[in-house]
């Protein structure tokens, strides 16, 4: 339990960060590094996991009767703009209206849900809610950063909140089609069409706005961050946050690059070489420009990176996918975080690589990064991780308060 952790406040430069192991307890370290990264590190010595799958399901499915459920709105006007899902259906979003002091403030959250990496994969995907609005749930639960309760979400509870549904398969990044396969790759158009619809519903008058997203939506929040900022006048405070979207270009357990192969499929299938940032594609392989580490330093808008240093999705799909682990020796570590000492050592190297990849990004005062150690994926959406009252003292300082301090430019709390 977090309450049993020894909390130690420390300030240090992350480039020289070293893991500290204790045989009988977990050591909890957190602090603002001199390079601008908030390191929230819960050093695992006994293989326990902080990834609460049941809690996550409760948060997302609204099994708690007190969870806010928000209905689906379809953007009918998007059809004329060619801003459509994989199957050609119009896109959608869920809007909760703000009130009081938050009436002119907006949070836009881009839904996640991996990617399709080939024509066949995208054809399969279009028969799901991640490829067709005709199959989308009519209501979604709003929890964590989307909660409307002051006690759970004090900084943003009364803001206008929008969850944009993900139905293009490429992190809102594409703008092409495959007529032979009857597939539309229009993620970028979807983003812009939904934003236009929201601007007409009051977002044009926004005083403050925050674009964020989880997983593939977190990557999208990086890709579309400056586009979002360009929608508003200079008087509007606009910032972006990526939650579990910092997918690292890492070597897998077999010595290969599993995620590179996946991203190469996404980029080539949807023609993303034409829509990814030119500042990146002009000098390296375009498929690498789908990795945040190669584009975040060129994002002009203030950006917050929230990610686990032992990201649950990346362990199972990038570091130790079945193709790289045919003996299944990583299965327990990947799916329940019961890792051997050598596997923990490998994950330590992954975490250090993530911190190093954020080095230059963190030198810009407008940016922040919070790298946590819990085995998790998408922490800002999960009430247990986001809500200070339920997250323990360390997590309160590390997630919701850290995001609020950065957004509102408050002095970081000790």
Rounded-to-integer distance, Cα 388 and Cα 373, Å: 17
How many residues can be counted in the chain?
414
Strand order in the sheet with 105-110: 6-9, 27-32, 37-43, 368-372, 303-308, 237-243, 208-214, 105-110, 160-164, 92-96, 68-74, 139-142
Rounded-to-integer distance, Cα 127 and Cα 124, Å: 6
Provide the token pair at 280. 């990146």
Predicted local distance difference test score (pLDDT) of residue 377: 95
Cβ 306 vs Cβ 217: under 8 Å: no
- Between strands 303-308 and 368-372, the pairing is parallel
Q: Which spans in 1-106 are helix H? A: 53-61
Residue pointed to by tokens 């809007």: 95
Predicted local distance difference test score (pLDDT) of residue 2: 26
Q: Which of 311, 325, 385, 405 is catalytic?
A: 311
CA neighbor of 379 nearest in space, from 359, 397, 365, 400: 400
- For residue 377, give every residue at least 6 positions away whose Cβ sits within 8 Å of its Cβ, in sequence order, or none: 51, 215, 244, 308, 311, 312, 313
Cβ 62 vs Cβ 43: under 8 Å: no
Q: Which spans in 21-64 are helix H? A: 53-61
Q: Which of 133, 215, 308, 334 is catalytic?
A: 215
Rounded-to-integer distance, Cα 260 and Cα 238, Å: 31
**Coil, helix or strand at residue 410:** coil
Distances (CA, A) of 320 to 118, 261, 340: 21, 14, 14
**Coil, helix or strand at residue 30:** strand
Provide the token pair at 141. 């639960």
Verify whether residue 168 is a known catalytic residue.
no
Verify whether residue 311 is a known catalytic residue.
yes
Residue pointed to by tokens 């089609």: 177
In angstroms, how far apart are the furthest CA atoms of the chain? 62
Helices (H) and strands (E) in the chain, counts: 13, 14
Verify whether residue 342 is a known catalytic residue.
no
Q: Which of 377, 385, 400, 405 is catalytic?
A: 377
Rounded-to-integer distance, Cα 224 and Cα 193, Å: 13
- For residue 179, give every residue at least 6 positions away whose Cβ sits within 8 Å of its Cβ, in sequence order, or none: none
Predicted local distance difference test score (pLDDT) of residue 37: 52
Predicted local distance difference test score (pLDDT) of residue 46: 27
Work out the angle at residue 225's Cα, subtended by the Cα atoms of residues 224 and 226, and round it to the nearest 5 degrees. Answer: 100
Residue 101 dihedral angles phi and psi, to the nearest 5°: -70, -15
**Coil, helix or strand at residue 139:** strand
Rounded-to-integer distance, Cα 143 and Cα 145, Å: 6
Rounded-to-integer distance, Cα 112 and Cα 244, Å: 10
- For residue 76, give every residue at least 6 positions away whose Cβ sits within 8 Å of its Cβ, in sequence order, or none: 90
Rounded-to-5 percentages of helix, strand, coil across the chain? 40, 20, 45
Q: Which spans in 290-330 are helix H? A: 312-314
Predicted local distance difference test score (pLDDT) of residue 1: 29
Residue-level pLDDT, tens digit, the chain, 414 residues: 222 221 222 222 232 233 323 222 222 233 334 334 554 443 222 222 233 332 333 344 445 668 999 999 999 999 999 999 999 999 999 999 999 999 999 999 999 999 999 999 999 999 999 999 999 999 999 999 999 999 999 999 999 999 999 999 999 999 999 999 999 999 999 999 999 999 999 999 999 999 999 999 999 999 999 999 999 999 999 999 999 999 999 999 999 999 999 999 999 999 999 999 999 999 999 999 999 999 999 999 999 999 999 999 999 999 999 999 999 999 999 999 999 999 999 999 999 999 999 999 999 999 999 999 889 999 999 988 897 564 444 444 558 999 999 999 998 655
Rg, the chain, Cα only: 20
End-to-end CA distance of the chain: 22
Predicted local distance difference test score (pLDDT) of residue 388: 58
């Amino acid at each position: 339990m977090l309450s049993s952790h020894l909390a130690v406040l420390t300030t240090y430069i992350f480039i020289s960060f070293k893991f500290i192991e204790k045989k009988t307890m977990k050591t909890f370290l957190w602090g603002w590094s001199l390079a601008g990264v908030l390191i929230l590190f819960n050093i695992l010595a006994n293989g326990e996991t902080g990834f609460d799958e049941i809690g996550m399901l409760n948060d997302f499915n609204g099994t708690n009767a007190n969870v806010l459920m928000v209905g689906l709105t379809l953007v009918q006007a998007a059809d004329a703009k060619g801003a459509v899902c994989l199957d050609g259906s119009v896109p959608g979003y869920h809007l909760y209206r703000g009130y009081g002091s938050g009436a002119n403030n907006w949070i836009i959250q881009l839904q996640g849900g991996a990617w399709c990496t080939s024509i066949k994969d995208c054809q399969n995907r279009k028969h799901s809610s991640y490829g067709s609005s005709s199959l989308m749930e009519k209501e979604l639960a709003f929890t964590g950063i989307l909660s409307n309760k002051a006690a759970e979400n004090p900084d943003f509870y009364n803001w206008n909140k929008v969850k944009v549904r993900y139905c293009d398969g490429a992190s809102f990044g594409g703008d092409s089609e495959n007529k032979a396969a009857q597939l539309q790759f229009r993620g970028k158009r979807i983003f812009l069409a939904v934003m236009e619809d929201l601007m007409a519903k009051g977002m044009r008058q926004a005083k403050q706005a925050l674009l964020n997203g989880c997983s593939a939506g977190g990557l999208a929040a990086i890709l579309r961050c400056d586009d979002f900022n360009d929608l508003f006048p200079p008087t509007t405070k606009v910032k972006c946050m990526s939650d579990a979207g910092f997918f690292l270009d890492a070597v897998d357990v077999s010595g290969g690059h599993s995620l590179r192969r996946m991203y190469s499929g996404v980029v080539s299938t949807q023609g993303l070489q034409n829509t990814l940032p030119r500042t990146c594609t002009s000098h390296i392989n375009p498929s690498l420009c789908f990795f945040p580490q190669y584009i975040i330093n060129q994002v002009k808008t203030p950006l917050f990176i929230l990610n686990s240093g032992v990201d649950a999705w990346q362990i199972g799909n990038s570091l130790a996918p079945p193709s790289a682990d045919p003996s299944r020796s990583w299965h327990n570590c990947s799916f329940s975080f019961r890792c051997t000492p050598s596997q923990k050592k490998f994950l330590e190297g992954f975490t250090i690589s993530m911190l190093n990849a954020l080095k230059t990004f963190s030198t810009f005062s407008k940016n922040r990064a919070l790298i946590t150690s819990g085995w998790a994926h998408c922490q800002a959406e999960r009430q247990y991780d986001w809500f200070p009252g339920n997250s323990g003292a360390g997590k309160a300082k590390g997630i919701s308060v850290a995001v609020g301090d950065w957004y509102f430019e408050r002095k970081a709390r000790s």
